[in-house]
Amino acid sequence: MSQTVTEFELHDVRFPTSEQLDGSDAMNPDPDYSAAYVVLRLGDGGEGHGFCFTIGRGNEVVAAAMEALRPHVVGRPAPFTAAGLAALHTDLTHDSQLRWLGPEKGVMHMAAGVVVNAAWDFAATRAGLPVWEFLASMTPGELVGLVDFRYLTDVLTRDEALAILRAAEPGRSERAARLRERGYPAYTTSPGWARGQQGVRREGLRVPRRAAEGEGQGRRVPGRPVLDQRPRPLRGVQVLHGPGPSVPEVLVAFQPRAPA
């Protein structure tokens, strides 16, 4: 079976979270959590998935930008190696006409990132490893080969980066073993979102014990209706967190700008 990319399947996925103000804050009062999602399918049956997050309107713009990248992906050999993944990234971000739209910023940047992530997904899956371990298994030379140094060499050259990675190589297996044992710090808003007159969505604050035991970090974001209330709703976070292992918390409250 062919190991080329044969299909580039796009999805515009949206959830009406604005109906309950889930995910809202002072600067984003009515988000509909959405994703522009791509599935890259290979001729031999393999596939890779990638997506980027938006908050509703404009999700179709990201999907259209992803569609513009299709010619760079379909029909090419599947990039299973560091060199192949680096070459894909270069092709996506160096299209002379799409560069006018800014592949290093904005919507084209998001679109290219989705496709690159999907390629990493099928490369790591083919290797039988999670993405972090697939990355960690690469040699210093392969890692340096992934980096676009065009805007870095005034502070870090390719040779300097290679020297740093080679110096750290002896401790690699120990660090990887520690990650397998403990997991790695993760960021999520899923433990809870404060909103509305009741303050805190209690059903959203029951964090799985495994997550609470890791070296992770919780995040609380007061939804827009909470901003006009006294601090009472936020005490619910502390109460529901309850006894047990300590999980560092970040309370994120976006402050709207005062009218000019």
Q: What is the mean pLDDT of the chain?
A: 80
Q: Which residue has better confidence, 228 or 167? A: 167
Task: Band the pLDDT of 16: cuts 50, 70, 90.
Answer: very high
What mean pLDDT is predicted for residues 228-233?
A: 47
Q: How far apart are CA 209 and CA 25, in angstroms?
A: 27
Q: pLDDT for 169-225, tens place per residue?
A: 999 999 999 988 988 777 666 555 555 434 444 444 444 444 444 444 444 454 444
pTM: 0.78
What is the structure's pLDDT at 11? 97
Hey, which residues does 92 pair with through a beta bridge? none
What does the pLDDT look like over 75-117, one tens digit per residue? 999 999 999 999 999 999 999 999 899 767 899 999 999 999 9
Question: Are 78 and 3 within 8 A, CB to CB?
Answer: yes
- pLDDT at residue 254 tops 70: no
**Whether pLDDT at 121 is above 60:** yes
Strand partners, 187: 217
65: nearest Cα among 30, 42, 26, 99? 99
| pLDDT at residue 136 is higher than 80 | yes
Residue 34's φ and ψ, nearest 5 degrees, are -145, 165
Check residue 151 and give its pLDDT: 87
pLDDT reading at 240 higher than 50: no
Query: If you average pLDDT over residues 37-51, what whole number do you get?
Result: 95
User: What is the DSSP annotation of the chain?
Assistant: ---BEEEEEEEEEE--GGGTTTT--SS-SS---EEEEEEEEETTS-EEEEEEEE-STTHHHHHHHHHHTGGGTTTSBP--SHHHHHHHHHHHH--TTGGGG-TTSHHHHHHHHHHHHHHHHHHHHHHTS-HHHHHHTS-HHHHHHT---TTTTTT--HHHHHHHHHHHGGGHHHHHHHHHHH----B-STT-EE-STT-B-GGG----HHHHHSS-BEEEEE-GGGGGS-SHHHHHHHHHH-SSS---EEE--PPPPPP-
pLDDT for position 113: 95
With a pLDDT cut of 70, the percent of the chain lying above it is 70
